Amino acid sequence: MMKVSNLRKSYGEGSTKVEVLKGINLEIAKGETLALIGKSGSGKSTLLSLLAGLDQPDSGEIAVGDKKISHMKEKELTHFRAEHMGIVFQQFHLVSTLTALENVLLPLELLKRPDAKETAEKLLESVGLLHRAHHLPSQLSGGESQRVAIARALAIRPTILFADEPSGNLDEETGDKVMELLFKMVKETNTTLVLVTHDQDLARKCSRVVHLEHGSLA
């Protein structure tokens, strides 16, 4: 499904250079739910950004199936990500001028999917927010916004879903409900999940847990 070989990433130059990832090797199977855990500054979010093609490694290789995304040009990578990857962030990242329905519609319309509106409405219904379809993000609670973000990320039926501390901005009760929904939807669609979290209890809900320490897998 996804294979990572000798992945390295640094920031800064000269005496200020910091090696964030130090030769990461990792394989992720189709349908697997993988938790990436580690202390703040261990490189979790950096690794997720590289896996999702949002940033480029200094060296090493990332392959999704037979596609080497670490070697793709920006335009090709953007298109590949739009077709195969879903991403849920801690900060929701909804488009503030679009309604809940329009936010979910967006990735489908970019791919010119003929059943875009029907798919988006079904997804909003599945996250319990069809009645909020025409509300803007500013009119939604944090939990509602994250549920819309999950619906949007799953709209294209991605091959792989990346989630970076998706309940980090929510209170405990709301966060638990949102994560329960995320795992339920991932299981129903057999979507591969890579979850970055510092929450040990949340990590244990995944089929495999990988520890990142000082830029290396423990």
Could you tell me the residue ranges of all domains in the chain?
Answer: 2-8+20-217
Token code pair at residue 26: 């990792």
Distances 25 to 149, 169, 210, 213 between C-alpha atoms, Å: 30, 30, 11, 14
Instruction: Please report the pLDDT score of residue 70 as a whole number.
Output: 87
Token code pair at residue 95: 């488009």
Provide block-wise average pLDDT over 10 residues at a time, the chain (218 residues).
92 86 94 91 88 91 91 90 90 92 94 92 92 95 92 92 87 87 89 91 92 89
Q: What is the mean pLDDT of the chain?
A: 91
Q: How many CB atoms lie within 10 A of CB 114?
A: 8
- Reported as a single tens digit per residue, the pLDDT across 27-64 is 999 999 999 998 887 888 899 999 999 989 999 999 99
Domain spanning 2-8+20-217: CATH superfamily: P-loop containing nucleotide triphosphate hydrolases (3.40.50.300)
3-class state of residue 114 by DSSP:
coil
